[in-house]
Amino acid sequence: MILTGMTLLLCLVMIGAALVAILGKGLAVAILATGLVSLVASLLFLILAAPDVAMTEAAIGSGLTTFLFFFVLGRVRGGEHD
Amino acid sequence: MDALSPLAVHAAMATGFLLILLGFYGVLTQRNILRMVVAFTLSTTGVNLVIIAIGYTLRRTAPILDEAVPLAEASARIIDPLPQALVLTAIVIGLGITALMLAYVYKIYQVRRTLDIGKLSELKW
Amino acid sequence: MIKRLLALLLIGGLGGVFLLLWLDFTPPTELNEVARYYAEQSAPDLGTVNITTAIIVTYRGLDTLGEVTVLFLSAAVVGMVLVRGRRRTAATAEGLVSGGELLASGSRLLVPLILLLGVYIFVNGHLTPGGGFQGGAILASAVLLMLLADPTRRFSHRLITLVESSTGLSYVLLGVVGIVLAGGFLDTRILPLGEFGTLFSAGAIPLIYSLIGLKVGAEFASMLANLSETEAL
């Protein structure tokens, strides 16, 4: 029962973060929100009995991807408001 | 053991589908290329979530054998390991694709000094 | 405006399809035939504790080889696309802020530990969750930490290329040895299976997964290094 409630809560957090990522104003906020979606997704993978996938998503999806985005965002200063 | 109810699996799958739709909506309506890449990453996460939710079987555990899941009971106790292997592959390839897209975003900005997709109209007709 | 409406229409249609799929779905209670085969046969055949690893390295080994190839190609294209932006001189590097004393000292402490964790994860890929891809990503995050602490740091691209190509070559060679000594390409039963559940078991799976880990780590590191060496525009 607790696990089900937690799953529903995590789903709500994911949808909220995804809405921020698509509709939010700042690009940095959008990138961070995508990282949050990936992080919460890795928790969901753990709940859905997929520890291998959860590790991959946490290390790659929310870690490295976010930093790749920030590397490029830092290089294209001035382009983010186009 | 605290078991996951079918409602939770359905909720996870619905979230995955919603993420795919939100990502596609973002790709179709954003003007900034970097924002389109962000939206694309979102829908990739959604697809992975849907596949894992489909592979889940109720009242079973992860495909790793140990004292709790001896080999003799394995086929009655573990979930399908194949979707997990596929999604693992998909996540790693996803980072490769994202890096490639970001490299092209940088290149476009270097040459054109803009990230607005509306101003890149050479191939438009 | 009309564009946005069209996009909404398209999303609505796709959403309808998804809704039908979602309403139709009932979580299964039994494994299908393929999954049952993996569950029952992977431990006696290959000696792995983690069944996902058995699928990735052996049953679908060719798939993984293709995946590593795709990753190599995308790392190579990232390097090729960014090659002109990579010649930063000392003058242009001045604009970068260094990470500060705290991050520099902290990274000197943490980088060896992170590398150790990455190696631990891919060496134990057949016993615990995780494996080459996760371990490789953790190795790359150590490189990332070094880059954050000192943005002007340059990594030897020759070393990264050397690690990447030698591990890739050994991976393919191990696969060919599988044809000669065992049942086919990438068959991992070329080494004795050993005692179930110990580090030196499961044939060549730990060896292959370690090679994959090093290769993936080198590829991610080269992507990160290439992107961080670009000039700010």
pLDDT, tens digit, 9 for 90 and up, residues B10-65 = 888 999 999 999 999 989 888 888 889 999 999 999 999 999 988 888 778 788 88
Q: Give the pLDDT mean for C62-87.
A: 83
Residues 6+ apart with CB under 8 A from C56: B85, B88, B89, C63, C64, C131
Instruction: Report the chain C residue with the minimal C-alpha distance to residue A63.
Output: C141
Residue C6 has pLDDT above 50, yes or no: yes
In a domain, A1, yes or no: no
Whole-number mean pLDDT of chain C? 83
Instruction: For chain C, report the end-to-end CA distance as a whole number of angstroms.
Output: 33
How far off is chain B from C92, nearest CA to CA, in Å? 16
Q: Give the pLDDT mean for C20-24.
A: 89
Instruction: Report the chain B residue with the minimal C-alpha distance to residue A55.
Output: B88
∠C113-C114-C117 over CA atoms, to 5°? Answer: 90
CA distance B82 to B84: 5
In a domain, A11, yes or no: no
Q: Give the pLDDT mean for C205-230.
A: 87
Full domain range(s) for residue A33: 25-76
Residue C28 has pLDDT above 90, yes or no: no
* CA of residue B37 relative to chain centroid, distance: 13
In a domain, A46, yes or no: yes
Q: Give the pLDDT mean for A44-51.
A: 89
pLDDT in the model for residue C91:
44
**Cβ B54–C25 below 8 Å, yes or no?**
yes
pLDDT tens sequence across C164-204: 889 989 988 888 888 888 777 877 777 777 777 777 777 78
pLDDT in the model for residue C88:
53
ipTM of the complex: 0.88
Instruction: Report the chain B residue with the minimal C-alpha distance to residue A49.
Output: B62
CA distance B77 to A28: 44
Cβ–Cβ contact C138 with A under 8 A: yes
**Cβ A72–B102 below 8 Å, yes or no?**
yes
pLDDT tens sequence across B78-109: 888 888 889 999 999 999 899 999 988 888 88
CA distance B67 to B69: 6
**Is the separation of the CB atoms in C182 and C189 below 8 Å?**
yes
∠C52-C57-C59 over CA atoms, to 5°? Answer: 80
**Is the separation of the CB atoms in C31 and B57 below 8 Å?**
yes
Residues 6+ apart with CB under 8 A from C27: B6, B9, B56, B57, B58
pLDDT tens sequence across C126-169: 888 888 889 999 999 998 888 888 777 777 888 888 888 899 89
In a domain, A10, yes or no: no
Q: Give the pLDDT mean for C58-65.
A: 87
In a domain, A61, yes or no: yes
In a domain, A16, yes or no: no
Handedness of CA B89, B92, B96, B102 (dihedral sign): positive
Q: Give the pLDDT mean for C1-5.
A: 82
How far off is chain B from A32, nearest CA to CA, in Å? 10
> Which domains are present in chain B?
6-61+73-119 (1.10.287.3510)
Cβ–Cβ contact B35 with A under 8 A: yes
C141: chain A residues, CB-CB within 8 Å: 59, 63-64
How many contacts, defined by CB atoms under 8 Å, are there between A and C? 51
Q: How many domains does chain A have?
A: 1
**Is the separation of the CB atoms in C144 and C227 below 8 Å?**
no
